[in-house]
Structure 1
Amino acid sequence: MSLRIVEPGPLALIEDLGRPGLAAIGVSASGALDRAALRLGNRLLGNDEGCAGIEFLLGGATVRFEEPAWFAVTGAVVSLDLDGRPVDPHDAVHAEAGATLRIGRPTAGVRSYLTVRGGVDVHPVLGSRSRDVLSALGPAPLTAGDVLAVGEHPAQAVPLLDFVPVALPADGVVEVRAHRGPRADWFLPSAIDAFYDREWEVSAESNRIGARLDPVRAAAHRAGSEPHPSPVLERAVLSELPSEPMVAGAVQVSPDGRPTVLLADHPVTGGYPVIAVVADASLDAFAQLRPGQRLAFRHA
């Protein structure tokens, strides 16, 4: 069985649940940014939850099924068109041979996950089929014309479900939980208070490596009539920090006082102090945050 990428959209990557446990050799875990969405898609099809699927950024993708297949699309809120017929996301759908699936632009969230019964079957690298964009490990980003093999159907039948409760990506202020970081004492107490009390905006510089955050600017700052406010995360210790291990969720603060939340494809070491660490249960939310969207940190 196979499927063909007709149009990949802005960025289409093959992702599973990653390759954890290899930081000692300089390899981050990588894997789907929205792990819950990938797991849901696989469960809807009777797959093992770690089967590889396709992560689409901002939709606009078209896929053709070369043989009959079951599939599901989860994650961002998108319209789905199967040979001119609208189909529902977060549901197991059957496609006939030659059927074409079109994934629209998201109205909430940014990343959609296409899973197929049997999983996308490409050669694993270090035990995972995930693409790591920082280290360039794993299968290359998908391009128009790529044909992907599909694995054998699992023994378990496609589950019969009438309704699947799904928490859709939020389009307002998103609250995430974060623990006090190992270098929190490098910051002034006012910086710790500001980190948790203020709202932050997701920068357009964000990607799978990290989510860059900006302090929310007043209207005058946005219009350029007043200078941008000074950084709110001021350090108490100004000396240079030797590089130390990093994990997904670590919130590094660069010298300009702006925080960056490290995500799946993060470097395994870093030299900026970590003011906080996002709780694992909150990490998936960063997969669906749009540039300009606001978030607020809360004590974990």
Structure 2
Amino acid sequence: MIVIERVGPLATIQDLGRPGWFDSGVGLSGAADRGSCALANRLVGNPEGAALIEVLVGGVRLRVDRHHTLAVTGAPAPAAVDGVPVGRASVLELDAGQTLGLGLAQRGLRSYIAVRGGIDVAPVLGSRSLDTMSGIGPPPLRPGDRLPVGPAPPTFPIVDLAPVAELSADAVTARVMLGPRDDWFTDPGALFEGEWSVSPDADRVGARLDRRTGPPLRRRIRDELRTEGMALGSIQVPPSGRPVIFLADHPITGGYPVIAVVIDADVDLVAQARPGQPVRFRRAAR
């Protein structure tokens, strides 16, 4: 059992999502930074899709009621066991009564806490993830919550510390494929000029961008667009001209034109971009 003693801005239970429900209007959801989720689980010997805790910015403290193996990945929030600092992306052995605390990350946005055996709350439609847009899944964590832990898997951690690249506060460069509605804009190439920045209006649904430098995006076609499917990483442009990059909890349909789509390999980088951080777009190689 894991007991939540403190929660920062937001902490939720996530896994790698609930595929196969688009025809019922339910999106994939799951961890916003899938790579960090998978790494945290590998470090404790779990399958990559085991349920864990996604922490926004930091500020979480939890206590274990028996020996547990944990790992913290993603945004480098300073971590400490009983107040003693521990390394990032390392395998942590906590005994009964010990606490793991995360301070506030100065870079990146989302950290991940995995426990060997996974968070064993009841799945909804095959996933333990909270979809913040639909409300499907377990509610956000609160102080006093007690989280059951599943049985330990037969595999074991094989490293004490994983070498991971540092997240930067510099501009995030996201590779994109133009379309399917780039022809609705007078100059779709304006997307690649200058820089954008992540606005404060960003969450697990999507990251809205403000123009930092460069020309605005202007619509050539003013007609209304019929509702159509939306993919993870879609860059939808509402009438304001401020693009929104769709993230884990994005709607599965939308009515504004999608000028481009961030390639899957770069979606995790966008999910870790903080408000105010610059974003640049580059054409993906075909």
Matched, 1:265 2:249: yes
Q: Report the equivalent of 1:279.
A: 263
1:283 & 1:101 partners in 2: Cα distance? 29
Work out the percentage of aligned pairs sharing the same amino acid. Answer: 50
Taking the aligned partners of 1:247 and 1:59, their CA distance within structure 2 comes to 28
User: Which runs of structure 2 are paired with 1:91-170 in the superposition (5 Å)?
Assistant: 91-159=90-158, 161=159, 163-170=161-168
- Gap regions ≥5 residues in structure 2: none
8 Å Cα contact 1:199/1:295 also seen in 2: yes
Unaligned runs of 5+ in 1: 218-228
CA-to-aligned-CA distance 1:96-121 (integer Å, 9 cap, x gap): 10001110100211111000000000
Match of 2:21 in 1: 22
| Deviations, residues 37-65 of structure 1 (Å, cap 9, x unaligned) | 01001111111010000001110111001
Preserved CA contact (<8 Å) 1:75 1:168:
no
Query: How far did 1:165 drift?
Result: 2.1
Question: What is the aligned counterpart of 2:174 among 176, 179, 182?
Answer: 176
Say which of 217, 223, 232 aligns to 1:239: 223
SS in structure 1 at match of 2:200: coil
CA deviations 1:10-61 (Å, max 9, x no partner) are: 1000000001221111011000001100100111111101000000111011
Q: Does 1:206 align with 2:202?
A: yes
TM-score (norm 1): 0.92
Q: Could you say which residue in structure 2 is the equivalent of 1:67?
A: 66
Kindly indicate whether the alpha-carbon contact (under 8 Å) linking 1:119 and 1:151 is maintained by their aligned counterparts in 2: yes
Helix, strand or coil for the counterpart of 1:193? helix
Q: Which amino acid in 2 is paired with 1:252?
A: Q
Q: 1:216 aligns with which of 199, 207, 212?
A: 212
Q: How many residues align?
A: 284
1:224-269, CA deviations, whole angstroms, 9 ceiling, x for partnerless residues? xxxxx9x711111111101111111111000011110111101111
Instruction: Write out per-residue CA displacement over residues 166-209 of structure 1, whole angstroms, 9 at most, x where no aligned residue.
Output: 12222101101110111111111x2x121012210100001000
Match of 1:186 among 184, 187, 191: 184
Q: Give 1:162 deviation, angstroms.
A: 5.2
Distance 1:94 1:7, change over 3 A: same
Matches of 2:44 and 2:80, distance apart in 1: 19
Give TM-score scaled by structure 2 length.
0.97
1:81 Cα deviation from its structure 2 partner: 1.2
2:41 corresponds to which residue?
42
**In the TM superposition, what whole-angstrom CA distance separates every residue of 1:248-292 from its partner, at most 9, and x where no partner exists?**
111100001111011110111100000000100000012211100
Note the C-alpha offset of 1:84: 2.2
User: What is the root-mean-square deviation in Å for CA atoms of aligned residues?
Assistant: 1.2
The separation in 2 between residues aligned to 1:176 and 1:283, in whole angstroms, is 8
What is the distance in 2 between the residues matched to 1:38 and 1:267? 22
Partner of 1:254: 238
Contact 1:6 1:63 in 2 (8 A): yes
Moved over 3 A (4+): none
